[in-house]
């Protein structure tokens, strides 16, 4: 429940039949889900099916965890009858199971913590990335000069090489200095300055050139947000992943 809704409830109270309406709404959820599953078509049906599949997996996991907890609780009482030596280790089985499931959960949490919004990205060929430049007497003969067709980031103290020796041209109109970064935990979107390009999954050369394509991991300056570590130090830079195609949208979302 959002903050303003809680505030409103605190000031004005609830309807007299609120509990009954909530119960009925919960009871109707199954029917609504069934109706949607039967009547949705095309892409909406696929997306809804994926969502339901994830929900069912989560539900099964919770049920399994509850069952394991119940089994462990039931067998926690010590047995009064004496057991032979070869049966003594049988009681440790449930403990081992519980321990392994706890380790698995911790690993999953850790993986979720470091997971990126876009684990898979479309590959971009060099033909699409670079345009051959054929200006000048020497360049026209050998065609070794390239112009980058995608948005790029260059640092503050960047100066171009002499035109005669410059192999890759990064156009001024396609350079970005700031990104619209959405913080998933805080639930806010802020415009933050880019500190550098950490990894472009397409090619290490694109990382070196500072090319910003969908899925690129960048470092942004979060000092304005006032994020503090557990030790009390102010966080200066954080990593973010580009989630849109900047050349199509004219802005950088991460």
Name the residue ranges covered by the structural domains of the chain.
126-249
Residues in the chain with pLDDT < 70?
Answer: 1, 71-79, 88-95, 112-114
Name the β-bridge partners of 188.
183
Domain 126-249 part of CATH 3.10.290: yes
Strand ranges across the sheet with 188-199: 178-183, 188-199, 217-221, 237-241
Tell which residue, 151, 119, 128, 126, has the closest CA to residue 215: 119
Q: What is the pLDDT of residue 140?
A: 72
Q: What is the pLDDT of residue 21?
A: 94
Calpha distance 38→90 (Å, rounded): 48
Tell which residue, 108, 103, 208, has the closest CA to residue 153: 208
Q: What is the pLDDT of residue 31?
A: 93
Q: What is the pLDDT of residue 94?
A: 63
């Amino acid at each position: 429940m959002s903050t303003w809704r809680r505030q409103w409830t605190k000031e004005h109270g609830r309807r007299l039949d609120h509990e009954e309406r909530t119960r009925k709404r919960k009871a109707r959820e199954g029917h609504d889900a069934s109706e949607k599953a039967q009547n949705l078509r095309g892409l909406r049906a696929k997306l809804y099916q994926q969502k339901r599949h994830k929900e069912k997996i989560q539900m099964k996991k919770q049920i399994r965890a509850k069952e394991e907890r119940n089994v462990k609780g039931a067998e926690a009482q010590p047995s009064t009858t004496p057991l032979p030596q070869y049966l003594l280790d049988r009681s440790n089985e449930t403990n081992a199971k519980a321990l392994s499931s706890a380790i698995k959960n911790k690993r999953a949490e850790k993986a979720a913590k470091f997971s990126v919004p876009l684990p898979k990205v479309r590959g971009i060929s060099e033909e699409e990335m670079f345009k051959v430049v054929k200006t000048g007497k020497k360049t026209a003969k050998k065609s070794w000069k390239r112009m980058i067709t995608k948005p790029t980031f260059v640092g503050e103290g960047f100066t171009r090489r002499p035109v005669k020796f410059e192999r890759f041209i990064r156009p001024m109109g396609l350079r970005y200095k700031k990104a619209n970064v959405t913080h998933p935990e805080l639930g806010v979107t802020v415009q933050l300055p880019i500190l550098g390009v950490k990894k472009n999954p397409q090619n290490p050369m694109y990382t070196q050139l500072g090319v910003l394509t969908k899925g690129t991991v960048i470092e942004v300056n979060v000092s304005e947000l006032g994020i503090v570590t557990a030790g009390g130090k102010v966080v200066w830079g954080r990593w973010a992943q580009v989630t849109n195609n900047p050349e199509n949208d004219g802005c950088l979302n991460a």
